[in-house]
Amino acid sequence: MAEKVALITGGARRVGAAVCRSLHAAGLDLMVHYRSSADDARAMQAELNAVRAESVALVQADLLNVSSLPSMVNDTVRQFGRLDVLINNASSYYPTPVGEVGEGEWEDLMGTNLKTPLFLSQAAAPHLKRNHGCIVNIVDIHADRPMRNYLVYSVAKGGLLALTRALASELGPEVRVNGVSPGVILWPEDERWSDEVARQRIIHTTLLKRVGEPEDIARTVRFLVLDAPYVTGQIIAVDGGRSISL
């Protein structure tokens, strides 16, 4: 896999960083997108380039600026000479209960979770077709089981689930397109999720009775990229069995 190249959005932190490290360990070169996490992105770049020189490059962009998305693809090809894998990982996440949804929240949540994956996939498609590459979208178990008070986020992820299947149909046979739907992997970084009682209540609904790890998502992404040549149009839930009881 030494000549394969992946572009990963939101790759500097959390699940995105775990995916980057897993694919890099498998031999892929990486273009890692970040928006505001410059320090984390540069630290990971230095870490991975110390393992394999000039194997990781960075691109900064606001994904809501659709006109900048083709440039991300072009920068990747200019840097590495090709593009084989697109991981649509970046996401906005916060509550939007009915009666409190504004146009700004709609544009942000639909933009990062659905609009950007579409237009970035469209920009990457010619390169992916040329190399018989693949796309992996990070969806959510709430794409088809909406989360109360997270109306717009749930709708956006539902759209991403449909987009995954539609792109698999549109881009086949040259390009495979799949999705990974995380369950409880990392708690959101805001005070709404700091209540330990509420956390334990959610954990209790999983069949495995525990929180997952970012590496659980990374291993599944790696499988879809490297070891699933006859898999396309599929969404794999990595949730400890929680979606069964929702």
Kindly indicate whether the domain formed by 5-187+214-240 is annotated with CATH number 1.10.3720.10.
Answer: no
The structure's pTM equals 0.95
The reported pLDDT for the residue numbered 35 is 95
pLDDT tens, 102-117? 999 999 999 999 999 9
Contact 142, 154 (CB under 8 A): yes
pLDDT tens, 172-190? 999 999 999 999 888 777 7
- Tell me whether residue 153 is one of the annotated catalytic residues: yes
Q: Provide CB contacts within 8 A for 126, sequence distance 6+.
A: none
The reported pLDDT for the residue numbered 1 is 47
The reported pLDDT for the residue numbered 2 is 52
The reported pLDDT for the residue numbered 195 is 78
Which of 34, 93, 150, 153 is labelled catalytic? 153
- Write out residues in the chain with pLDDT < 70, as ranges: 1-2, 191-194
| Closest of 203, 199, 154, 151 to residue 181, by C-alpha | 154
Q: Provide CB contacts within 8 A for 222, sequence distance 6+.
A: 19, 22, 23, 26
User: Where do the structural domains in the chain lie, given as residue ranges?
Assistant: 5-187+214-240
Distance of CA 119 to the CA centre of its chain: 14
The reported pLDDT for the residue numbered 191 is 66
The reported pLDDT for the residue numbered 187 is 75
Count of alpha carbons within 13 Å of 52, Cβ hemisphere only?
14
